Amino acid sequence: MKRTAASIALALSATAVFAEDTVTIEFAYPYSHLFDVTYEAMMPAFKAAHPNIEVMMRATYEDYEDGTNTILREAVSGNLPDVTMQGLNRQQILVEKGIAKSLEPFIAKETDFEKDGYHAAMLSLSSFDGEVHGLPFSVSLPVGYYNQDILAEGGIETLPTTWDEVIAACETMKANGIENPMFWGWNITGNWFLQALMWSQDKAIVENGAMQLDSPEALAALEQMQQIFTGCEMKNLSWKEALASFSAGEIGMMFWSTSALGAVERSKGDFELVTGPFPGMGEAPEGLPAGGNAALLTSTSEDPKVQEAAWTWLKFITSGEGAAEVAKTTGYMPPNKAANEIILADFYEQNPNKQTAVDQLPLLRDWLAYPGDNGLAITQVIYDGIERIVIGDATDMGELQEELVDEVSDLLPNG
């Protein structure tokens, strides 16, 4: 059928109006290997609901530290994205510097917005001076990943529940010819596993604004790491190498965030994968740090349409519908109640490997930021210290603790 000139003109007019009304926002997030598939899954529903909003994805951050460093640089150069995804322990510095905007004006205009829809531990970490500056997107906890085929070959019949049992399992597997029995995620972002060992003892790494690296619990954590690394003869792999090696069926046990579960499931070889609770230091952990990230509004646009579009995107990805894709495509747990209680009602029953982290939710504790503007530098000092344990350069944990305390003290606001 031929189209009339009038109909063509009308179509072109409508297209022009649509193009004129389209608002483009920019979004940046970390860990492409984890989240690319998540945002791809979300986008069709978002576009159907909001056809006039175009979301431009920026280059992904390598990790949370890279995300924070990038945002700090972009704030100076005036090139901030409209929405950024940041680690829970990296929000405070962006709020203090006025980079992350308060969401209270947007929340106040929402007639059906429920703050109670988000996990309390997550939402509290995005609230500063009584105002919400971020909406939680995902929550993770440390878990054990087990290659049941390698464990069976190595003579292990039951999953370990303590680090002593992990070390004993490594020794048994080594004796039975397993070359690489274990990887322990010391190099995960934000010194997360150090905090996991301290929270296992019910001790925070920061209390009342003061670092607790000089505490007996910190020394016990360093000693526990040394025992794990040496007892299991652990290889010094980067986190990317470790995930790839485990997925390829080359490592028997891996202790890492539940966040990587979806990626491991999609890429793993032909072996039986089982997850288990994070082992404890002689007994079950008393607490574990809440990993994960939150969406922050960092737009510098003065155009109300851009600001509203940024809020619409931010709200959608943390909503029940958006957050449900987090659980389906990764190993993270969505902190939104609508996602967990309605959309995902039967999901965890059908996905027991993802249920492991959910069962540990009563242990949830804060993932703590280090005081002052040098938080990233403190993270690096601790990272370097732990790596010295891994490679065998540091053998006296009391001496290492003293060195770390001295170096970190120089970076703290009060010296």
Q: Which domains does the chain have, with CATH numbers?
A: 23-140+291-364 (3.40.190.10), 142-289+370-409 (3.40.190.10)
Residues paired with 55 in a beta bridge = 25
Residue 3 has pLDDT above 90, yes or no: no
**Residues above pLDDT 90, as percent of the chain:** 77
> Would you state the pLDDT for residue 261?
94
Local confidence band at 184 (pLDDT 50, 70, 90 cut-offs): very high
Digit-coded pLDDT (tens) for 242-265: 999 999 999 999 999 999 999 999
> Would you state the pLDDT for residue 339?
79
- The residue-averaged pLDDT of 180-194 equals 96
Residue 1 has pLDDT above 80, yes or no: no
> Would you state the pLDDT for residue 115?
63
- Return the C-alpha torsion angle 258, 389, 215, 382, nearest 10: -70
> Would you state the pLDDT for residue 116?
58
- The residue-averaged pLDDT of 228-235 equals 97
Residue 336 has pLDDT above 90, yes or no: no
DSSP string, 117-165: GB-HHHHHHTEETTEE-EEEEEEE-EEEEEEHHHHHHTT--S---BHHH
Residue 4 has pLDDT above 60, yes or no: no
Task: Round to whole Å and give the CA distance between 292 and 71.
Answer: 18
Task: Round to whole Å and give the CA distance between 141 and 359.
Answer: 10
> Would you state the pLDDT for residue 13?
42
Task: Round to whole Å and give the CA distance between 85 and 298.
Answer: 10
Residue 8 has pLDDT above 70, yes or no: no
- The residue-averaged pLDDT of 15-21 equals 52
Contact (Cβ atoms closer than 8 angstroms) between residue 404 and residue 381: yes
Both ends of the chain: CA-CA distance in Å? 79
Distances (CA, A) of 330 to 200, 261, 386, 410: 25, 6, 28, 39
DSSP E strands in 155-232: the ranges are: 182-184, 206-207, 210-211
**Residues above pLDDT 70, as percent of the chain:** 93
- Residue 34 parent element (H or E): helix 32-49
Digit-coded pLDDT (tens) for 52-81: 999 999 999 999 999 999 999 999 999 999
pTM above threshold 0.85: yes
Local confidence band at 14 (pLDDT 50, 70, 90 cut-offs): very low
In the DSSP assignment, the letter for residue 178 is -
If one compares 59 and 9, the residue with the highest pLDDT of the two is 59
- The residue-averaged pLDDT of 127-150 equals 93
Residue 111 has pLDDT above 90, yes or no: no
> Would you state the pLDDT for residue 21?
85
Local confidence band at 6 (pLDDT 50, 70, 90 cut-offs): very low
Digit-coded pLDDT (tens) for 211-221: 999 999 999 99
Instruction: Show the CA angle centred on residue 222, arms to residues 221 and 226, nearest 5°.
Output: 115
Digit-coded pLDDT (tens) for 287-309: 999 899 999 999 999 999 999 99
